[in-house]
């Protein structure tokens, strides 16, 4: 199976190399059969890389320890779900995951566009094939990136090393795949953007043709980030979910620029403006997806998330450098053609707020990049090593984030083209009143602190603006079409999925920020050494040590303490944090337990225990409102799915444009 897999990888290299060249030859010589051959190469690449992936999956599932990757990341004791997830536990498996997703996406994109975007598609194939070529070359040239490296017959172990206990969590089954679906998804709009630049077809066709790909990539990047945060929360045991770790930052960066891109393309579609800016944003987003993979896989920056240090870094830097030079040179060469007659009907308009939204999102991305790279700059300039950690990011990003929240609320209230004083006043009055009431209620309830008060007040403001948008539309529909309110609401959303899906995403963002604010501003923490029968207090809750249990399995030693949780003498449940020691890896690990309600989490982590005395060192946190962070994430995903859902009217309009465009070309 190793041989079949490796041969398939070599075929991937050959096909992708051919796929880079053939369509270009076709365009250059005018021989259509070369372009068709390039299209078939895209399908062949998908098929062959699926075969390579199936080989690795088969070896993982059958625990074929003659494969070094299988021996390093699985064991006989590992459950089937985590055995499958071991596919992306290491560098080489992750590379293969990149290529298999890219291969399948490319085949779908080619199938969708081969007739309607004939001029762009040869270049799209060539660019996507270049990316596939880079990753497949890494896997075949570098031994540490080869997922089909074999162990000599005499040295094959009877059992594998098993998965890193950090990765034995449902979050890690989902997080890497969704993140990679997002990362790779942005390759498609990037390839179309480059093809548009090469062919000088610089209208909004490339944007409209890839709008759903962009949304798809953004949606999965969102899921990846949220699931990653949830994994950190339930796994790492420190009571938080986001530590501004370089690798976390790396997945957040393309999300920020991708979100800016999603908003700014609307201006190009509506006003034929910001053509250069949109090109810059998609180039930046694609570069950041590669940068994210580079940070995680090169081991260049040490992090709890860096699962492998290797020589891959130099190759990634070379690839990023070449991509940047290629795309920016192309962009500069086409600047004259990208000039649009930038006009705004009024300074105070929705268009202006979109510009502001882009500035803030890109400003946030800039801040994160600056934070990640500043230690390198500082050392180069002053010779002094510094660390840029969470206190920096919290101080700088919180006010910028709140500014973004404010703009998110104001944006829907300002009309497209031109706002007038009367319509602005009419639109603002209810959201501002809601925010004022929220502020007073919060103050009376005892909420203090500048940022928490501002964050909750702005959240109320944004929710009110979204409610106003839904309310007005529903009311009009209810009156005009005589529908009941629920049907009118659903009909309204369904009729304009992109707009109302976007508003649902905004609601999700607000709920997420409510969770972030509550859990960071009002977190309570305590740690104590307890023996059986003793209690500890944390934020008004009482944890009583009830019982202790320990046992050994073939791979680990397990200790668990059962605590009774009470508040004001009332029994709320039990929590059972666990501490494990993995023999194979000589590694201890904690598994936290939580008692969750909508208003708070009681989060308990067992730091140490003694089997002799039964003593246990426990760390407990009260994380207020944290459930709203996850609920907000789910709402964002629902909104993204609504916006992504196929819209027949939109598809008909686009098809008509393709047809007209084709006729024009025939003329």
The partner residues of 620 in beta bridges, in order of sequence, read 526, 604
CA separation, residue 209 to residues 44, 165, 215, 335, 662 (Å): 23, 43, 12, 22, 15
Q: Nearest 5°: CA angle at 99, between 94 and 103?
A: 150
Q: From the list 33, 527, 534, 546, which residue makes contact with another protein (rule: CB under 8 A)? A: 527
Residue 240 makes contact with another protein by CB under 8 A: yes
Site string for another protein, 88-127 (x = CB under 8 A): ----------------------------------------
Structure tokens that stand for 547 in this block: 């019982």
What residues contact 267, with CB distance under 8 A and at least 6 apart?
273, 274, 351, 354, 355
Q: Which of 95, 243, 466, 468 binds another protein (CB under 8 A)?
A: 243
Q: Using the rule CB under 8 A, is 378 a contact of another protein?
A: yes
Q: How far is the CB of 523 from another protein (least distance, A)?
A: 6
**Residue 302 within binding range of another protein, rule CB under 8 A:** yes
- Is residue 318 close enough to count as binding another protein by CB under 8 A? no
b/e burial code for range 568-590 (CB count within 10 A of at least 16 → b) = eeeeeeebbbbbbbbeeeeeebb
Smaller CB separation from another protein, 527 or 552: 527
Q: What DSSP assignment string belongs to 468-492? A: HHHHHHHHHHHHHS---HHHHHHHH
When asked if residue 301 is in the footprint of another protein (CB under 8 A), the reply is yes
**Which residues within the stretch 597-626 sit at the binding site for another protein (CB under 8 A)?**
607-608
Host H or E run for residue 573: strand 570-575
CB of residue 570 vs another protein: minimum separation in angstroms? Answer: 23
Q: Which of 406, 451, 470, 645 forms a contact with another protein (CB under 8 A)?
A: 451
Considering only residues 38-77, where is the footprint of another protein by CB under 8 A?
none
- Residue from the set 146, 222, 298, 590 that interacts with another protein by CB under 8 A: 590
Nearer to another protein, 32 or 425 (CB): 425
Contact 111, 203 (CB under 8 A): no
Residue 122 CA to residue 281 CA, distance in Å, equals 23
Tell me the window of 135-143, 153-161, 251-259, 398-406 that interacts with another protein (CB under 8 A): 398-406
Q: Classify residue 616 as left (phi > 0), alpha (psi -120 to 50) or beta.
A: beta
Find the part of the chain contacting another protein (CB under 8 A) among 84-92, 127-135, 200-208, 596-604. Answer: 200-208
Residue with tokens 């492998």: 308
Residue with tokens 């070094």: 68
Q: Which of 311, 420, 549, 651 binds another protein (CB under 8 A)?
A: 420
| Phi, psi (deg, nearest 5) at residue 349 | -155, 165
Q: Is 381 in the site for another protein (CB under 8 A)?
A: yes
Decide if residue 389 touches another protein (CB under 8 A).
Answer: yes
Contact track, another protein, 336-365, x by CB under 8 A: -x---xxxxxxxx--xx--xx--xx-xx--
Tell which one of 400, 467, 562, 641 touches another protein (CB under 8 A).
400
Q: Check residue 201 for interaction with another protein (CB under 8 A).
A: yes
The answer to whether residue 591 forms part of the interface with another protein (CB under 8 A) is no
477: its two tokens: 């529909």
Is 62 or 394 the residue whose CB approaches another protein more closely? 394
Binding positions for another protein, 483-522, rule CB under 8 A: 520-521
Per the DSSP assignment, residues forming a β-bridge with 591 are: 578
Give 515's contacts (C-beta < 8 A, 6+ positions apart).
625, 626, 627, 628, 629, 630, 631, 632
Q: How far is the CB of 449 from another protein (least distance, A)?
A: 5
95 and 135 in contact (C-beta within 8 Å)? yes
Q: Which is nearer to another protein, 648 or 663 (CB)?
A: 663
Residue 540 found at the interface with another protein (CB under 8 A): no
The interface mask with another protein, positions 204-233, x = CB under 8 A, is: xx----------------------------
- 558 touches another protein by CB under 8 A: no
# of chain residues touching another protein (CB under 8 A): 92
The least CB distance from residue 418 to another protein, in Å, is: 8
Give the C-alpha separation, 507 to 505, whole Å. 5
DSSP single-letter state for residue 151: P
Q: Which of 68, 168, 245, 593 binds another protein (CB under 8 A)?
A: 245
532 close to 547: Cβ distance less than 8 angstroms:
yes
Extract the tokens encoding 594.
């939580």
User: Using CB under 8 A, which of 388, 460, 466, 488 touches another protein?
Assistant: 388
């Amino acid at each position: 199976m190793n041989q079949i897999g490796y041969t398939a990888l070599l075929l991937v290299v050959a096909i992708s190399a051919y796929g880079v060249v053939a369509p270009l030859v076709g365009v250059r010589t005018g021989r259509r059969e070369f372009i068709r051959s390039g299209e078939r190469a895209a399908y062949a690449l998908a098929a062959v890389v699926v075969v390579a992936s199936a080989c690795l999956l088969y070896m993982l599932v059958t625990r074929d320890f003659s494969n070094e990757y299988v021996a390093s990341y699985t064991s006989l004791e590992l459950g089937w779900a985590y055995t499958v997830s071991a596919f992306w536990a290491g560098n080489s498996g992750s590379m293969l995951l990149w290529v298999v997703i890219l291969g399948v996406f490319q085949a779908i994109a080619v199938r969708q566009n081969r007739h309607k975007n004939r001029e762009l598609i040869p270049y799209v194939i060539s660019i996507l094939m270049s990316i596939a070529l880079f990753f497949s070359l890494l896997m075949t040239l570098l031994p540490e990136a080869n997922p089909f490296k074999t162990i000599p017959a005499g040295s094959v172990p009877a059992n594998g090393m098993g998965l890193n206990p950090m990765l034995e969590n449902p979050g890690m089954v989902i997080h890497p795949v969704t993140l990679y679906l997002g990362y790779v998804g942005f390759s498609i709009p990037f390839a179309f953007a480059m093809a548009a630049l090469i062919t000088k077809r610089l209208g909004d066709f490339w944007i409209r043709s890839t709008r759903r790909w962009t949304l798809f990539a953004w949606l999965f990047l969102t899921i990846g980030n949220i699931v990653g945060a949830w994994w950190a929360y339930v796994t790492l045991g420190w009571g938080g979910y986001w530590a501004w770790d370089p690798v976390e930052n790396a997945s957040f960066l393309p999300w920020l620029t991708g979100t800016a891109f999603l908003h700014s393309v609307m201006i190009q579609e509506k006003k034929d403006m910001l053509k250069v800016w949109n090109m810059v944003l998609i180039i930046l987003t694609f570069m950041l997806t590669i940068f994210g993979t580079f940070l995680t896989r090169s081991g260049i920056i040490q992090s709890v998330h860096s699962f492998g240090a290797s020589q891959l870094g130099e190759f990634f830097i070379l690839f990023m450098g070449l991509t940047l030079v290629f795309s920016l040179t192309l962009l500069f060469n086409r600047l004259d053609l990208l000039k649009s007659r930038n006009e705004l009907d009024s300074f105070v308009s929705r268009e202006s707020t979109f510009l502001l939204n882009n500035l803030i999102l890109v400003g946030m991305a800039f801040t994160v990049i600056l934070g990640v790279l500043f230690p390198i700059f500082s050392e180069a300039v002053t010779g002094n090593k510094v660390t840029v950690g969470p206190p920096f990011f919290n101080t700088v990003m919180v006010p910028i984030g709140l500014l973004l929240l404010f703009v998110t609320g104001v944006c829907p209230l300002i009309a497209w083209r031109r706002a007038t004083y009367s319509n602005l006043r009419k639109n603002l009055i209810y959201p501002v009143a809601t925010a004022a009431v929220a502020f007073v209620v919060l103050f009376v309830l005892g909420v203090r602190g500048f940022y928490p008060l501002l964050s909750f007040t702005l959240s109320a403001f944004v929710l009110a603006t979204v409610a106003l948008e839904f309310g007005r539309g529903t009311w009009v529909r209810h009156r005009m079409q005589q529908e009941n309110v629920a049907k009118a609401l659903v009909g309204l959303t369904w009729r304009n999925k992109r707009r109302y899906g976007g508003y649902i995403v905004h609601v999700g963002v607000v709920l997420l920020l409510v969770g972030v604010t509550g859990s960071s501003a009002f977190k309570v923490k305590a740690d104590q050494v307890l023996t059986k029968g003793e209690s500890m207090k944390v934020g008004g809750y009482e944890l009583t040590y009830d019982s202790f249990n320990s046992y050994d399995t073939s791979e680990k030693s397990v200790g668990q303490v059962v605590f009774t949780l009470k508040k004001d003498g009332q029994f709320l449940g039990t929590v059972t944090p666990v501490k494990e020691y993995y023999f194979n890896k000589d590694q201890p690990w904690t598994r936290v337990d939580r008692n969750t309600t909508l208003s708070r989490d009681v989060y308990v982590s067992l730091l140490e225990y003694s089997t002799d005395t039964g003593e246990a060192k426990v760390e407990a946190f009260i994380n207020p409102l944290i459930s709203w962070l996850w609920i907000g994430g789910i709402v964002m995903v629902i909104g993204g799915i609504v916006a992504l859902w196929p819209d027949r009217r939109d598809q008909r309009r686009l098809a008509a444009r393709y047809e007209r465009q084709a006729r024009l070309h025939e003329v």
